[in-house]
Amino acid sequence: MARAGLTEYRVVIPGRPVPAQRMTQRSKWSPRSQRSLAYQRLVAQVALAARLPRPLPWEYVDVLVWVFLRPTKAGKLPGSRGDWDNYGKAVCDGLQYAGVLRNDRDVTDGATKVRPALDGEERAEVILREAIL
């Protein structure tokens, strides 16, 4: 999709986003780590189904991740959630697993925003753009 002379790609990953976990060979098999790895595989599957280019045609990439989590009854974010940066890491790792990103080093700018899902649909929305240095 063209926008102000730049190309961007958008993809929506359905379901509750799962933050990346720091893993060792030993902790890789913990339930928390396995959930994180399963989410990265889901991101890869959605990216492949969306037919994102593999790899992206740019040398450097800007990544914007919007994380939408089911709000509490008071309309606030849940207290039991991951750190904002780990959500972005999980998405980028999944995109790398799919071959959309060659390497995390291709990302020169990025942001992750965590918001309540006012429509009740937990998801992550990702925008990939060419980074102009």
The per-residue pLDDT for 23 is 73
**Helix, strand or coil, per DSSP, at residue 91:** helix
Distance CA 133, CA 126 (A): 21
Mean of all residue pLDDT scores within the chain: 91
More confident residue, 22 or 89: 89
Q: What pLDDT is recorded for position 80?
A: 86
For residue 70, count CB atoms less than 10 angstroms from its CB and return exposed for 0-12, middle for 13-18, buried for 19 or more.
Answer: middle
- Could you check whether the bond before residue 71 is cis, i.e. omega within 30 degrees of 0? no
Given a cut of 80, whether residue 34 has pLDDT beyond it is yes
pLDDT digits 0-9 by tens, 4-21: 446 899 999 999 999 998
What confidence tens digit (pLDDT) does each residue in 63-110 have? 999 999 999 999 899 988 999 999 999 999 999 999 999 998 999 999
Question: What domains are there in the chain, each with its CATH number?
Answer: 2-130 (3.30.1330.70)
Which residue is associated with the tokens 């929305």? 125
Pairing of strands 123-130, 6-14: antiparallel
pLDDT at 2: 38
Q: Tell me the one-letter amino acid at 17.
A: P
Q: What is the pLDDT of residue 9?
A: 97
What is the rounded CA–CA span in Å between residue 81 and residue 9? 27
Secondary structure element (H or E) that encloses residue 95, with its range: helix 84-98
Report the run of H or E that residue 112 belongs to, with start and end. Answer: strand 107-116
Pairing state between β 61-69 and 107-116: parallel
